[in-house]
Amino acid sequence: MSNESKTMNQSFVRFFLTAGCDGYAHAVRKSFLVALWFVFLTFPIMVIRVNTIENTVVWHWSRIGYVALAIFFGSFVWRWLLARKELKKDESQNETRVESVLTRMQSNPIFKFSALAVLALAAAVYPWAFNLYQTNIMISCLIYIVLGLGLNIVVGLAGLLDLGYVAFYAVGAYAYALCNMHWGLGFWYMLPVGAVLGAVLGIILGFPVLRLRGDYLAIVTLGFGEIIRLVLENWGDVTMGPSGISSIARPDLFGVKLGVVGSTQYMFYIMVGLLVFTIFCVNRLQNSRIGRAWLALREDEIACQAMGIDKMKTKLMAFALGATWAGMAGVVFAAKTTFINPASFTFWESAIILSIVVIGGMGSIRGVIAGAIILILVPEYLREFAQFRMLLFGAIMVLVMVFRPQGLISAKRKIYTYKVAEAGAANE
């Protein structure tokens, strides 16, 4: 190793260990105090477990050690991340390495098409190469990607925090389940109906609440989502209450009923098709007139209105379009699981979809896809840690907001280049 890189390494270690402090001793003391504080903080809930009926106490003393160690080392990382964020404040617009590689790949047509071809091939082969279980997981991942992309329109592009997104999803699912149960309507009829229902509901809900400012909107949509769930739970005559609706028909292929394996594979292709359609639409919307209006609205509402953009119409459009995808995903979800009940549509579902959008990168299609893959697929394969799943979601949401507010893969604004030479020629 050359001398230069050695000093580089040393200075990095030094920066890492002493970020935000006056020296090693100060840093260690600070971390020690923080660890002590957290031991105090977590003491009753982590360590003591009482049973007030049998009057017994269980002490988990070892947990103190884990907490102390984790916080002691974690606090170094925390301070380093904070200091790094401070340093990089001015250059935060720059792309990270991964992003620049992705961008370069996208701008190279040969690479782009070959990558797309590989993806298409992988999608075509996937249900044949893997077993039913894997295919099912992949289908739910695809559903979440579609949901994430739909919510991305509302939250990422238009900047409206919607915490009741799952309501539209539930409406789509129940619409299919009920129509199928009572009138035997098939999947292909209900998919567009679900989309329209979602959009109509989005407009009905959006109309009165869109005057509200960001955080009020969040609470009202949350309340709305809970109302829908409670109605589904309590209106037993129509929705069958908490026990839900079972034996919902799977989609048929031109009138041919498929077996379990066949219909799962068919479902997978339907979902891939829907995803491609979604990506196409969202991509086109993003750079359209309405898409630019959304971005403008997100950045500054007043300036946006001053430029002559109809605030109401633009926001309603975002709400309705976002809800459309949720409605469709709901129909697919009902067809995939063949059983739905209100427990599938709690606030946590909204929270998971929101974390996909936030962690992936608000407003970025690539980010949302990456977010869904990480948040849905990884926990599926780490079943032993299932109980830590929501804990990690919460922690990651906070960490991402504090240290990387733009998400894993940040959205890139389309840059329009103005060709001076041609414009000059036209003027002459």
Partner 1 sequence: MEYFLELFMGGLTRGSIYALIALGYTMVYGIIELINFAHGEIYMIGAFTGLIVAGLLTMLGFPTSAILVIAIVCAIVWAAAYGLTIEKMAYRPLRSAPRLSPLISAIGMSIFLQNYVMIAQTSDFLPFPELIPHFDFMDKVGSIMSSAELVIILATVASCVGLTLFIKFTKLGKAMRATAQNRKMAMLVGINVDMVISATFVIGSSLAAVGGVLIASHIGQINYYIGFIAGIKAFTAAVLGGIGSLPGAMLGGLVLGLTEAFATGYVSSDYEDVFAFLLLVLILIFRPSGIMGKEKTQKV
Query: Could you say which DSSP state residue 245 is in?
Result: B
Of 136, 377, 173, 130, nearest in space to 260 by CA: 136
- Length, in residues, of the chain: 428
Q: Do residues 380 and 423 make contact, with C-beta atoms less than 8 angstroms apart?
A: no
Largest Cα span, the chain: 94
Residue 261 beta carbon to partner 1: minimum distance, rounded to whole angstroms = 35
From 19, 173, 317, 354, residue interacting with partner 1 (rule: CB under 8 A): 354
Q: Which stretch binds partner 1 (CB under 8 A): 110-118, 178-186, 273-281, 351-359?
A: 351-359
| Cβ proximity to partner 1, 52 vs 107, nearer residue | 52
Of 365, 359, 355, nearest in space to 412 by CA: 365
Of 225, 137, 242, 240, nearest in space to 180 by CA: 240
Residue 371 beta carbon to partner 1: minimum distance, rounded to whole angstroms = 13
Residue 352 beta carbon to partner 1: minimum distance, rounded to whole angstroms = 9
| Cβ proximity to partner 1, 67 vs 275, nearer residue | 67
Q: Check residue 308 for interaction with partner 1 (CB under 8 A).
A: no
Among residue numbers 197 through 236, which ones bind partner 1 (CB under 8 A)? 208-209, 211-212, 214-216, 218-220, 222-224, 226-227, 230-231, 234
From 82, 185, 193, 258, residue interacting with partner 1 (rule: CB under 8 A): 82
Question: For residue 117, what are its two tokens?
Answer: 């071809």
Of 137, 151, 95, nearest in space to 355 by CA: 151
Distance CA(190)–CA(86), nearest Å, equals: 51
Of 266, 83, 110, nearest in space to 188 by CA: 266
Q: Residue 17: what residue type?
A: L
Question: For residue 283, what are its two tokens?
Answer: 């991509």
Q: Check residue 402 for interaction with partner 1 (CB under 8 A).
A: yes
Distance CA(323)–CA(169), nearest Å, equals: 8
Total binding residues toward partner 1, as defined by CB under 8 A: 61
Q: Which stretch binds partner 1 (CB under 8 A): 18-26, 116-124, 389-397, 412-420?
A: 389-397
| Cβ proximity to partner 1, 137 vs 219, nearer residue | 219
Q: Which residues bind partner 1 (CB under 8 A)?
A: 37-38, 40-42, 44-46, 48-53, 55, 57, 63, 82, 85, 155, 159, 161, 163, 208-209, 211-212, 214-216, 218-220, 222-224, 226-227, 230-231, 234, 302, 347-348, 351, 354-355, 358, 387-388, 390-391, 393-398, 401-402, 405
